[in-house]
Amino acid sequence: MSERGAILFARYAYPPNELGYCGPADASALLRAEATAGIERSARRFEGAWCYLELLAESAGIPDPLDERVVEAYWIGNELLDLTDPAALLARMRDRFRGQRGGTWREASGRALAHHSFQVFDVYPWAGLLRVSAHPTALSVLDRCRIRTGVVRSVHGESATVESRALRWTGTHLVPGPPRRESVRWSRGGRSLIPGVAPGDLVALHWDWVCDVITRSQAARIESTEARQLRAQGLAPREASGEAAVGTAAPTG
């Protein structure tokens, strides 16, 4: 098992696990960077994410689903995504999620992608609910559950103020809204999986948590992969290629 890959997985998986949305009951196990064997045990109990990691690893001929390249492909995106067959992914999901209702993934065909954005916008039912009723809860969940990018503006103990762009529903499409500031956490009780954050850092966010300090190329990959997924699902204007990245990764003032 790759220790670096296990820690990278925990950085992104901890926020929804802490909230009780997925994974095993003891979310604190994911904050113990010194105990990567425990992180691996927890990772295997993330029913959705582990399915993608296994397929990504197998498609790339990598024996470890927690290899750092595999984990990065799922949460951020990299070249391994192009090696996975959409039909193979759907076949695996039909077996893994048999009996589960909601979502549009069964009809996803060529747009199925072993990336977290596919899980958020196609597998979960929230995008469908948004289309039917424009429910504000659906929009909020989609925005917080996706991996989004932001820039740290200030740090206050274990919290930070980050500038990012929330999703906005036009009535037909999801588009990035104007830059706004939000308070997020990067540490809990003195435990964190990153060394710290500083003003000006470009970061990846999941729910109300700073997952990692990232590079501009990683930010661009997060945003372009999400935009690709939204366009494929008809949730973003076709001409909006790259729109999600505008004003998010770059500091504004």
pLDDT computed for residue 243 by the predictor: 42
Q: Cα separation of 122 and 114, whole Å? A: 11
Structure tokens at 157: 């103990």
**pLDDT, position 241:** 43
Same domain, 138 and 218: yes
250 falls within a domain: no
Q: What local confidence, expressed as pLDDT, does residue 46 receive?
A: 94
Residue carrying structure tokens 């098992």 = 1
In a domain, 118, yes or no: no
Judgement on whether residues 77 and 162 belong to the same structural domain of the protein: no
Cα–Cα distance, 12 to 189 (Å, whole number):
18
pLDDT score at 242: 44
Which pLDDT score is estimated for 133? Answer: 85
Examine the domain organization and report whether 105 and 177 are in the same domain: no
**Same domain assignment for residues 140 and 224:** yes
pLDDT of residue 99: 67
pTM above 0.85, yes or no: yes
Q: Which CATH number do you get for residue 207?
A: 2.30.30.140
Q: How many domains does the chain have?
A: 2
Q: Mark whether 191 and 216 lie in a shared domain.
A: yes
Whether residue 157 is found in the same domain as residue 235: yes
Range of the domain at 58: 3-110
Q: Are residues 103 and 137 in the same domain?
A: no
DSSP alpha helix (H) spans, the chain: 3-18, 36-43, 47-60, 68-75, 86-96, 116-118, 126-133, 136-145, 216-232
Indicate whether 97 and 159 sit together in one domain. no
Residue finishing a domain among 63, 80, 110: 110
| DSSP-assigned beta bridge partners for residue 213 | 203
79, 110, 141: which is the final residue of a domain?
A: 110
Averages of pLDDT over each 10 residues, the chain, 253 residues:
92 96 91 90 93 97 97 98 94 81 82 95 92 89 97 98 97 95 96 96 98 98 96 81 42 42
Least Cα distance to 142 among 159, 162, 122 occurs for: 122
Are 115 and 81 in contact by the 8 Å Cβ rule? The answer is: yes
In a domain, 20, yes or no: yes
